């Protein structure tokens, strides 16, 4: 069975949420976390502390000839640090700290000012860099806040922040799916804070609103797109995995609905997103499974994705917990490394 290391980061946070809400006893949740951390620390192949994007969950071997991934390692680490902050346990603290502190972020700079996308032992560093706005914020704060292998705070200024406009709305974005505005916010509390460029929480709120309006603008082609049913982001489709979204249109879009587009945006537009999720539950009961919402479905063709994607379930779980009681934010922000990094790059309280 192949596992995404990013999904494991969400799963570690899931153990914290499960215990906090009475679904697991502390001993059970902590045992699962400890076994996972020990596997990561002792058995998983790694390069300068970074992990392969996909691995066999039983043998720890690299899968699909995947890359050593900087962003997916970062998403894993966010879950690792959440678990460290949540469980008052010396073994959890020691293993989580070991996993985080052995990551050599300076190596991943590969001689530049921005982090590389990754590395393959056969060919070396990948050609792409994390040099423009995307899901990168959490990764850069982990790297800048590292007590052992930090990169300079100036790297925060090295990535660009393109300005997009949609009607009367103006925001920082990229030609990429909606999830780029979600993932870092699942753990890091950016509310009422801003650096010299933006209030990133407010920026994600605007980006979500833009995406809603964009979907509804397609109503002539897909009549089911409405205030009650909208939202697409990278997901499975009838044709396989598709990186779709908009604006600008990416896909090609076929009228599918991806529940984690709104489920992962609950904290940005709570009423709007809850309405969509309730609509899916009421009108499309097949879209709900033992593990939550399907990854995607098409209201016209009646197709429902038979597979479950951990990263998409994960973002919905964490955002729901943050909306309910700020549970992930409140615990995760105890990590001094992240708080220190935010100060280093110039975050201040945003004026109302």
SS3 163: strand
SS3 307: coil
Q: What sign does the dihedral 215-217-218-222 (CA atoms) show?
A: positive
Domain 161-352 has CATH 1.50.10.140: yes
Mean pLDDT of 2-28: 97
In the chain, where the domains are located: 1-159, 161-352
Mean pLDDT of 247-275: 97
Q: How far apart are CA 148 and CA 64, in angstroms?
A: 31
Mean pLDDT of 292-300: 97
pLDDT of residue 308: 87
pLDDT at residue 256 is higher than 80: yes
pLDDT of residue 267: 98
- pLDDT tens per residue, range 118-169: 999 999 999 999 999 999 999 999 999 999 999 999 999 999 999 999 999 9
Helices (H), the chain: 5-20, 26-42, 70-86, 90-101, 105-109, 137-145, 183-187, 200-217, 259-263, 270-283, 310-325, 327-332, 336-344
Quick check: 207 and 224 in contact, CB under 8 A?
no
pLDDT of residue 190: 98
pLDDT over 90 percentage in the chain: 98
Mean pLDDT of 268-295: 97
Spell 170-193 as b/e; 16+ CB within 10 A means b.
Answer: ebbbbebbbbbbbbbbbbbbbbeb
Residue whose C-alpha is closest to residue 236's, from 314, 178, 315, 306: 306
Residue whose C-alpha is closest to residue 151's, from 187, 101, 115: 115
pTM beyond 0.85? yes
- Cβ neighbours around 219 below 10 Å, total: 12
pLDDT of residue 350: 80
Dihedral in degrees, nearest 10, Cα atoms 51, 55, 60, 61: -100
Q: Which CATH class is domain 1-159?
A: mainly alpha
Q: How far apart are CA 89 and CA 96, in angstroms?
A: 11
Q: How far apart are CA 324 and CA 320, in angstroms?
A: 6
Residue 161 makes CB contacts below 8 A (sequence gap 6+) with: 132, 133, 172, 197, 198
Burial of 58 (0-12, 13-18, 19+ CB in 10 A): exposed
pLDDT over 70 percentage in the chain: 100
Residue 5 makes CB contacts below 8 A (sequence gap 6+) with: 51, 52, 53, 54, 55, 69, 72, 73, 75, 76
Q: How far apart are CA 3 and CA 15, in angstroms?
A: 17
- pLDDT tens per residue, range 337-348: 999 999 999 999
Residue whose C-alpha is closest to residue 147's, from 49, 40, 5: 49
Could you identify the residue written with the tokens 């799916």? 177
Quick check: 334 and 346 in contact, CB under 8 A?
no
């Amino acid at each position: 069975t192949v596992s995404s290391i990013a999904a494991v980061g969400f799963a570690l946070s899931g153990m914290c949420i499960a215990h906090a809400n009475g679904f697991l006893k502390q001993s059970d949740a902590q045992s699962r976390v400890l076994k996972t951390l020990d596997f990561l620390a002792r058995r998983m192949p790694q390069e300068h502390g970074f992990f392969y994007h996909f691995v066999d969950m039983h043998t720890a071997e690299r899968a699909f000839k995947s890359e050593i991934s900087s962003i997916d390692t970062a998403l894993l680490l966010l879950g690792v640090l959440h678990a460290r902050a949540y469980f008052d346990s010396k073994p959890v603290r020691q293993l989580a700290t070991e996993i985080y502190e052995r990551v050599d972020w300076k190596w991943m700079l590969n001689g530049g000012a921005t982090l590389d996308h990754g590395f393959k032992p056969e060919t070396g560093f990948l050609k792409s860099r994390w040099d423009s706005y995307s899901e990168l914020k959490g990764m850069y704060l982990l790297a800048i806040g590292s007590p052992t292998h930090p990169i300079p705070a100036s790297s925060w200024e090295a990535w660009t922040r393109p300005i997009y406009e949609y009607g009367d709305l103006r925001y920082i974005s990229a030609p990429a799916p909606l999830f780029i505005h979600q993932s870092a916010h699942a753990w890091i509390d950016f509310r009422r804070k801003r650096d010299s460029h933006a209030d990133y929480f407010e920026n994600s709120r605007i980006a979500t609103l833009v995406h809603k309006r964009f979907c509804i603008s397609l109503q002539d082609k897909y009549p089911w797109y409405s205030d009650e049913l909208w939202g697409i982001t990278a997901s499975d489709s009838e044709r396989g995995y598709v990186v779709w979204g908009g604006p600008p249109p990416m896909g090609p879009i076929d009228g599918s609905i991806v529940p984690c587009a709104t489920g992962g945006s609950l904290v940005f537009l709570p009423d709007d997103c809850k309405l969509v999720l309730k609509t899916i539950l009421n009108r499309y009961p097949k879209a709900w499974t033992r593990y939550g919402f399907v990854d995607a479905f098409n209201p016209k063709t009646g197709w429902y994705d038979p597979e479950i994607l951990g990263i998409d379930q994960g973002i919905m779980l964490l955002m729901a917990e943050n909306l309910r009681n700020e549970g992930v934010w409140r615990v995760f922000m105890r990590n001094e490394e992240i708080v220190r990094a935010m100060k280093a790059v110039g975050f201040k309280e945003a004026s109302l």
